[in-house]
């Protein structure tokens, strides 16, 4: 029986290109789709795919406000997503030291 490594499990959730940078943007607060895309050199198609994947993993919460025209959609980190803060902080520390 194959037992998955915890690092492998983490990479399955946040290891795809742009995932960590999208999470970084959401650590700065609730954002709309265009706000996230404005800060990253990413296509709308890829951003949409990554946000859906993060939502499926319970990292991001998508909230639709149908009263606006067109409906307003906002993205925030869930508690599970916020728990990645220590991972990103470690990446910042390592990148600052060795980059």
pLDDT by residue (tens digit) across 61-86?
Answer: 999 998 878 889 999 999 999 999 99
What CATH number is associated with residue 60?
1.10.10.10
Whether 54 maps to a domain, the answer reads yes
Rounded to two decimals, the pTM is: 0.89
Residue 11 has pLDDT above 60, yes or no: yes
- 21-31 pLDDT, tens digit per residue, is 999 999 999 99
Its domain, for residue 32, covers 6-98
DSSP the chain: -----HHHHHHHHH-STTHHHHHHHHHT--EEHHHHHHTS---HHHHHHHHHHHHHTTSEEEEEETTSSSPEEEEEE-HHHHTTHHHHHHHHHHHHHH-
| pLDDT at residue 1 greater than cutoff 60 | no
């Amino acid at each position: 029986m194959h037992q998955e490594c915890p690092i492998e499990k983490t990479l399955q959730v946040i290891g795809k290109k742009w995932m960590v940078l999208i999470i970084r943007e959401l650590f700065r607060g609730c954002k709309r789709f265009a706000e996230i895309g404005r800060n990253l050199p990413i296509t709308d198609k890829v951003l949409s795919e990554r946000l859906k994947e993060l939502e499926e993993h319970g990292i991001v919460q998508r909230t639709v406000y149908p009263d606006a025209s067109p409906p307003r959609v906002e993205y925030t980190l869930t508690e599970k997503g916020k728990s990645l803060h220590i991972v990103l902080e470690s990446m910042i520390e390592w990148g600052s030291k060795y980059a």
